[in-house]
Each structure stands twice: as structure tokens, then as C-alpha cells.
Structure 1
Amino acid sequence: MANDQYPAPLESRLGYLLKHAQAGLARASAEALAPHGVDGHELAVLVVLSAGEPLSQVEAAGRLGVDRTTMVSLIDGLEDHGLVERRRSPQDRRKNIVELTPEGQDCLRQAEKARRAAERRFLAPLDDETAASLVRALRTLVLTERG
């Protein structure tokens, strides 16, 4: 693996490898999602909003781990494209409930399919067992970190 792009002293450092692997996956995902008019952050919002019960902007932001200002910006963009709609909560008029529109549901289905295909292509150098093991290991690290 050592060459001009990956100097030998760095190729065994976990942080270096994770950073470059994430950058490669981000590029592949961005290319796959572009035809669907969303990026990875926007797709994450659609996924969270599709998970069941209606969520307020604040609740969705909490599930995504983003601040309220960022969430407002993401929701504004998705609303501008007709993928989500805001409505006042019947239980608390101070809260905006955000839900997918039919167009948002369709976009989510298509974009998720493209994202999964991009991930499969990214993991293609690994055999199925190794790829599944990598995903399980990363999930364990992330869930442990969240505590």
C-alpha cells in the first residue's frame, strides 16, 4: 500500500485510514445521490423522518446529532424541493412537525437504493464476510462511543 499517495509511516494509522476511507465513500455516495437531488445529510433527514412517528424539527435534529440551526437549514432545503412539509403540532402549537411528502417518500426509496449500490461498490474489494465484519465493528465502536 505504501506509495507516494499513502506514505508507509501513515498506512497503519487507524485515523489516517478511516479518514481516507470515509472520504472515498463520501465521494462515491455524493455521485450516487446527485441524480436524486439530495446529499448525504439530506438523505439522513429523510431516513429519520420516515422511521415511524411524526417528529418535530428538534426531535429530528436530536436523532441526527445536529444543532437546531443546521436542522432548520436542511428542512428548508428539503421543503423547497417538495420533499418534506412542516405543520404545527396539534398537541403543542409551538412545535413544527416535519413529514415526508409523497415525493419525499419516492426520493427516499430511490436515493437509498443508489446509496446501497454505492456502498456495495465501495466495499467490493472485500469479500462479503470481511465487509460485514467491518460494518459490525464500526457499528460497535459508534454505539459504544454514544454510551
Structure 2
Amino acid sequence: MTRDAPPPEVLSSRLGYLLKHAYLRLGEESARALAPHGIDGRELAVLAVLDADDELSQLEAAGKLGVDRTTMVALVDALEGKELVERRRSPQDRRKNIVRLTPIGRERLRDAEVARQEMERRFLAPLSDSDATLLVRALRSLVSAPTVPESPESP
């Protein structure tokens, strides 16, 4: 499927196909919007999570983001290299690293969030405002829902 071509008829109602291609397009648009800010979508998510809480350790932030410890260390290392975050030992527990945004990190977060919001508005432009709100609400419900175990097959 090319970017502007509709999906083949046989795939046009398959949820997995549609979600995959919508995600790929969103990823491309997100990368383009964030490139001038020198970060990617994962790094922006880390900055946003750290900004929302004053005292998060690397491990706590990893849990909120749903990433493993190794991935989180690599993300924080990259952000620290860009001078967007800093690690400090927790005064309560010297084994923990608290990760905080630097002043440059706060400014970068603010600017990148504006770019992200504008990109999302453009991405959702084919939908009415109410449909865009409904889509986000539906996706939030799907992401938040507990995993439903498979039902045993009936004889």
C-alpha cells in the first residue's frame, strides 16, 4: 500500500492491518515533527513522564513507560548526553538514581510538545473533532483494559 492509496479491499476491514498502517504513518509524522528538536518519540515520552513527577527513579520511570531496565538506562544515557536530564542519588536511598529534567530539558519538552500536538492535529484532520476524540478515547480504553484470557474451546 502506498501512502496515498487506500488499502486493498480484502484488507480494508482488518483491524490489525489498519492499526499497523496508521501507526506507521503516525510514526513517520512524529519523527518529522520532533527531528528539529533533536529527540524522538520515546525520548519525548521519557521527558513527559519525568516532568509529571518530581522524584522518579530510573526504575520507577521505566515502570510507568512500560520499558525494561536496560532500555531505560539507554534512554536516560541518551537524554543525559543531550543535557536534557540529570541523574542524582536519592537522599532517602543511595542505591537509587533520581532522574530529573534540566532547565534545557524542560524547554525542549515544552517546544517538542507543541510540535507533537500540532502533528497530531494534522494527523487526525481527516476525522471530525468528535470522531478524533472518540478514537483517542477508544484507544485509551483498549490500552487500559486487562488482558482477556482465551476462552476454552467448546466441544
**Is structure 2 residue 151 aligned with structure 1 residue 117?**
no
- In structure 1, the residue matched to 2:14 is 13
- In structure 2, the residue matched to 1:129 is 130
**Where do residues 60-99 of structure 1 align in structure 2 (5 Å cutoff)?**
60-99=61-100
How far does residue 54 in structure 1 lie from its aligned partner after superposition? Answer: 1.1
- Aligned with 1:9: secondary structure? helix
- Any stretches of 5+ residues in structure 2 without a counterpart? 149-155
Identity of aligned residues (%): 66
How far does residue 145 in structure 1 lie from its aligned partner after superposition? Answer: 3.6
- In structure 2, the residue matched to 1:107 is 108
Distance 1:145 1:71 in 2: 24
Distance 1:112 1:53 in 2: 19
Distance 1:36 1:94 in 2: 33
How far does residue 52 in structure 1 lie from its aligned partner after superposition? Answer: 2.3
Distance 1:96 1:27, change over 3 A: same
CA contact (8 A) 2:54 2:100 kept: no
- Any stretches of 5+ residues in structure 1 without a counterpart? none
State the one-letter code of the partner of 2:131: T
How far does residue 53 in structure 1 lie from its aligned partner after superposition? Answer: 2.6
Q: Deviations over 1:94-141 (max 9, x none)?
A: 100000000000000000000000000000011101111111111111
- Aligned with 1:94: secondary structure? coil
Distance 1:9 1:36, change over 3 A: same
- Aligned with 1:50: secondary structure? helix
Length-normalised TM-score, structure 2: 0.90
- In structure 1, the residue matched to 2:139 is 138
- In structure 2, the residue matched to 1:24 is 25
Structure with larger RCO (C-alpha < 8 A, sep 6+): 1
